[in-house]
Amino acid sequence: MIPGMDRLITLAQSDPPVALIVIGGVALILLIWVIATYNGLVRTRNHCDESWSGVETELKRRYDLIPNLVETVKGYAKHERDTFDAVIEARNRAQANHGNPESQAEDENRLVRGVRKLIAVAEAYPDLKASTNFLHLQEELATTENRIQRARRFYNANVRDLANRIETFPSNILAGMFGFEKREFFEIEEASHREPPKVDLQT
């Protein structure tokens, strides 16, 4: 028998109105809990969706920047064609990926490695390192990477909060009943340092 049920039965036999009030109060409390917990799960899930949209916005900023960076480097290092092609291919592949965060992270990290190689190529060309346009693009890239990492951390924090609600008792009961699912974390590397490199004009 459910604990306390015998007490409710006794109340119902001795004083039906009191028992109905007690049962009604318990049912009301339970209903309030269900509504509050369900709404909390929905809000957290929506926060995940909104923060992921923020990540995609910042990634698009990177996609738009990379072709200009490639063209600038190409003007000084025309024979590095393989590097240019690899970066553009990785950029196009990442931009076209609309799968889950884990799949996108793989393509983004491939792009990051390509951009790092592109920057390394630029280090071998003093005139390019001194180019105002190149320095401006590199600074924009650093700013973009910071924005991507902030958006990623915000998204991952919401993913963690949703996972906690889905896994912990008693909210996990409602999460299972209503089909709430955990989201994947988005882990990517940074394509550049936080600060643009210093230029040594005597190199």
| Domain of residue 118, CATH code | 1.20.1440.20
User: How many domains, in total, are found in the chain?
Assistant: 1
Within-domain flag for 146: yes
Domain range holding 63? 52-203
Burial zone of 191 (CB within 10 Å; 0-12 exposed, 13-18 middle, 19+ buried): buried
- Give domain status of residue 28, yes or no: no
**CA 108/CA 102 separation, integer angstroms:** 10
Residue 29 inside a domain? The answer is no
In a domain, 8, yes or no: no
- Give, for all 203 residues of the chain, the pLDDT tens digit: 445 556 655 655 555 576 678 788 888 999 999 999 999 999 999 999 999 999 999 999 999 999 999 999 999 988 888 999 999 999 999 999 988 999 999 999 999 999 999 999 988 899 998 899 999 999 999 999 999 999 999 999 999 999 999 999 999 999 999 999 999 999 998 875 444 444 343 43
- In a domain, residue 150? The reply is yes
Whether residue 36 lies inside any domain: the answer is no
Q: Is residue 32 part of a domain?
A: no
